[in-house]
Amino acid sequence: MNGEPVNSGAVEGPWLLGVRHHGPGSARAVRAALDERRPRAVLIEGPPEADGLVGLAADEGMRPPVALLAHVVDDPGCSAFWPFAEFSPEWVAITWALEHGVPVRFIDLPAAHALAMRAGEKEAATEGPEAERGEPEAGALEGGARESGAPVSDEPESGGPGAVDGLRLDPIAVLAETAGYDDPERWWEDVVEYRGQPAAGGDALAPFAALAEAMGALREVYGTGGHDRDLVREAYMRLQMRAAAKEFGPDVAVVCGAWHVPALRERTTLTADRALLKGLPKAKVDMTWVPWTHRRLARASGYGAGIDSPGWYAHLFAAPDRPVERWLTKVAGLLRDEDRFVSSAHVIEAVRLAESLAVMRGRPLPGLSETTDAVRAVLCDGSDVPLALIHDRLIVGDVLGEVPEAAPAVPLQRDLTRTQKSLRLKPEALERELELDLRGANDAARSRLLHRLRLLGIGWGEPAAATRGSTGTFRESWRLRWEPELAVRVAEAGIWGTTVLGAATAKAEANAVGAAALADITALAERCLLAGLSDALPVVMRVLADRAALDADVGHLAQALPALVRSLRYGDVRGTDTAALAEVAAGLAERVFVGLAPACAGLDADGAAEMRTHVDAVHGAVGLLDDAEARTSEGIRPRWFTVLHALGTRDTVPGVIRGRAVRLLLDEGELSQEEAGRLMGLALSAGTPPADAAAWIDGFVGGGSGGMLLVHDERLLGLVDAWLVSVPDAAFTDVLPLLRRTFSAYEPGVRRTLGELVRRGPAAESAAKVTAGVPGFADDLDEERARAALPVVRLLLGLDAPPATTPDSTNDLAEVAG
Q: Is the pLDDT of residue 2 over 70?
A: no
| Listed range (207-216, 313-322, 512-521) with the worst mean pLDDT | 512-521
**Amino acid letter, 258:** A
| pLDDT of 714 higher than 80 | no
Judge whether residue 478 has pLDDT over 50: yes
- Residue % of the chain over a pLDDT of 70: 79
Most confident of 275-289, 458-472, 764-778: 275-289
Q: Which of 79-93, 154-168, 538-552, 700-714 has the lowest mean pLDDT?
A: 154-168
CA 641 to chain centre: 43
Question: Average pLDDT, stretch 612-626?
Answer: 79
Average pLDDT over residues 506-517: 86
The type of residue at 308 is D
Check: CB of residue 333 under 8 Å from CB of residue 350: no
The per-residue pLDDT for 197 is 52
The three state secondary structure string of 348-373 is HHHHHHHHHHHHHCCCCCCCHHHHHH
Q: What are phi and psi of 293, to 5 degrees?
A: -135, 155
The mean-pLDDT minimum among 62-76, 162-176, 345-359, 557-571 falls in 162-176
**pLDDT-based confidence at 186, cuts 50/70/90?**
confident
Q: What is the pLDDT of residue 480?
A: 92
Q: What value does the mean pLDDT take over residues 502-506?
A: 92
Give the bridge partners for 290, in sequence order: 67
What is the rounded CA–CA span in Å between residue 802 and residue 788?
A: 11
With cut-offs at 50, 70 and 90, classify the pLDDT of residue 571. low
> Does the pLDDT of residue 576 top 70, yes or no?
no
Q: Among candidates 273, 243, 255, 209, which has minimal Cα distance to 4?
A: 209
Alpha-carbon distance of 405 to 416, in angstroms, equals: 12
Give the per-residue pLDDT at 300.
Answer: 56
Lowest mean pLDDT among 65-69, 210-214, 754-758: 754-758
| Radius of gyration, CA atoms only, the chain | 36
Average pLDDT for the chain: 78
β-pairing, 66-72 vs 75-84, is antiparallel
Flag whether pLDDT at 531 surpasses 80: yes
Mention every residue, 6+ apart, whose C-beta is less than 8 A from residue 195.
25, 28, 29, 207
Task: Please state the pTM of the whole predicted model.
Answer: 0.68
The pLDDT assigned to 6 comes to 39
What are the residue boundaries of the structural domains of the chain, listed by start?
Answer: 15-301, 319-396, 411-496, 783-817
Of 295, 291, 245, 304, residue with least CA distance to 270: 245
Cα separation, 542 vs 521, in Å, equals 10
Fill in the amino acid letter for 680: M
Given a cut of 90, whether residue 627 has pLDDT beyond it is: no
pLDDT surpasses 80 at 344: yes
Residues 361-418: pLDDT tens digits? 888 888 888 999 999 999 998 888 889 999 888 998 888 889 998 888 888 888 999 9
CA distance 191 to 215: 15
The pLDDT assigned to 772 comes to 45
Give the Cα separation of 525 and 581 in Å (integer). Answer: 9
Range 653-680 burial, b when 16+ CB lie within 10 A, else e? bbbbbbbbbbbbbbeeebbeeeebbebb
Q: What average pLDDT does this structure show over 21-43?
A: 90
Alpha-carbon distance of 29 to 202, in angstroms, equals 12
Whole-angstrom Cα distance, residue 557 to residue 561?
A: 6
pLDDT score, position 326: 93
Most confident of 444-448, 599-603, 710-714: 444-448
Q: What band does 605 get if pLDDT is binned at 50, 70 and 90? A: confident
Residue 782, strand partner residues: none
With H, G, I as helix, E, B as strand and everything else as coil, classify residue 383: coil
Q: Are 512 and 521 in contact (CB under 8 A)?
A: yes
Model confidence over 578-599: pLDDT tens digits? 666 677 777 777 778 888 888 8
Q: What is the DSSP letter of 803?
A: P
Q: Which of 279-283, 367-371, 664-668 has the lowest mean pLDDT?
A: 664-668
**pLDDT surpasses 70 at 256:** yes
pLDDT at 230 over 90: no
Q: What percent of the chain has pLDDT above 90?
A: 24
Q: How far is 65 from 303, CA to CA, in rounded Å? A: 15
pLDDT band at 150 (very low <50, low <70, confident <90, very high): very low
**Confidence category of residue 334, pLDDT binned at 50, 70, 90:** very high
Q: Tell me how far apart the alpha carbons of residues 14 and 43 are, in angstroms, rounded to a whole number.
A: 10
Average pLDDT over residues 587-613: 81
The answer to which of 419-428, 527-536, 747-756 has the lowest mean pLDDT is 747-756
Residue 123: the pLDDT is: 62
Sign of the torsion formed by the C-alpha atoms of 601, 603, 608 and 611: negative
Contacts of 533 (CB under 8 A, 6+ apart): 452, 455, 501, 504, 505, 508
Of residues 168 and 187, the one with the higher pLDDT is: 187
User: Is the pLDDT higher at 429 or at 68?
Assistant: 68
- Bridge partners of 298, per DSSP, are 307
φ, ψ (nearest 5 deg) of residue 349: -65, -35
- Distance (Å) of CA 648 to CA 545, 610, 621, 655: 30, 17, 19, 9
Dist CA 102 CA 659 (whole Å)? 83
Contacts of 550 (CB under 8 A, 6+ apart): none
| H, E, C per residue of 247-284 | HHCCCEEEEEEHHHHHHHHCCCCHHHHHHHHCCCCCCC
Quick one: pLDDT at residue 543?
83
* Maximum average pLDDT range among 8-12, 100-104, 405-409: 100-104
266, pLDDT greater than 90: no
DSSP readout, 86-112? Answer: TT-HHHHHHHHHHHTT--EEE-S--HH
Residues in the chain: 818
**Count of beta carbons in the 10 Å neighbourhood of residue 399:** 21
